[in-house]
Amino acid sequence: MYNIVFTVDCIFGQFDAITRTSDGKTYAFKNERVAQLNNAGTGVASGYPKPIRQVFSGLPTNLDAAVYWPNGKTYFFKGNHYWRTSGTRVDSGYPKSITGNWRGLPNDIDAAVVWGRNGKAYFFKGTRYWRYRFDWDRTEEGNLDTNWHWPGYNQGTVDAAFRWSNGRTYFFKGERYWRYNDANDRVDSGYPLWTSREWLGCPNDRGTVPM
Ligand SMILES: [Ca+2]
């Protein structure tokens, strides 16, 4: 029985979305499930992964992206809608449509993160990204090429991204992740690493595919 549970946890190595919440927790989402990650980043909290509806009642499955906002709220995106939560509780009045509420932002985004270097929000879709300014409450000019502007990250598209408690920005793609050094403005040396091993605490031969 233990091995079965362990295997289920360790195949959870590709994320739809990952974010922090105002209660200081980190959550990773995949399909209909969510895993709360240990604060040390080396395993999954007891009892996880769980169905999303058990933890974030009112959120849909198969999320596109999530981002922790400076106002203490967390925003979740799917298709042409978004949900705002306080911790794990969905605020009343959601979902709302992206169009009309996030000026300049497209639907069907892949990933989102507030970058530590300039405090702007970055939304990734396909091989490009949109930069959102809080003081303007809209996106900046056009959209930009992800590979060109994030040195060391050369994967084109992004599955999920977030800023962790250590102030670093993380990009997830497939079963691997890249740690971005906001101060140096490039990916730290030694990356990418395996998501399941480093974030879920799985051994080398579980939940991974050959490079
Ligand atoms: Ca995604």
pLDDT at residue 123 in the model: 96
Q: Quick check: 206 pLDDT over 80?
A: no
pLDDT at residue 41 in the model: 63
> 1 CA to middle of ligand 1, Å?
31
Percent of the chain with pLDDT over 90: 66
- The answer to whether 84 and 74 are in contact (CB under 8 A) is yes
Taking residues 197-204, what's their average pLDDT?
81
* Assessment of whether the complete model's pTM goes beyond 0.85: yes
> 92 CA to middle of ligand 1, Å?
24
Mean pLDDT of the chain: 88
Confidence of residue 170 (pLDDT cuts 50, 70, 90): very high
Percent of the chain with pLDDT over 70: 90
> 128 CA to middle of ligand 1, Å?
14
> 123 CA to middle of ligand 1, Å?
10
Confidence of residue 107 (pLDDT cuts 50, 70, 90): very high
The mean-pLDDT minimum among 17-21, 39-43, 51-55 falls in 39-43
- The answer to whether 11 and 30 are in contact (CB under 8 A) is no
pLDDT at residue 105 in the model: 95
Bridge partners, residue 172, by sequence: 160, 177
Domains of the chain, each with CATH number or no CATH? 2-199 (2.110.10.10)
> 22 CA to middle of ligand 1, Å?
21
> 143 CA to middle of ligand 1, Å?
18
Bridge partners, residue 176, by sequence: 173, 194
Q: Tokens 């362990």 sit at which residue?
A: 6
pLDDT at residue 11 in the model: 64
Contacts of 55 (CB under 8 A, 6+ apart): 27, 34, 36, 88
> 49 CA to middle of ligand 1, Å?
18
> 113 CA to middle of ligand 1, Å?
11
pLDDT (tens digit per residue) in 142-161: 778 888 889 999 999 999 99
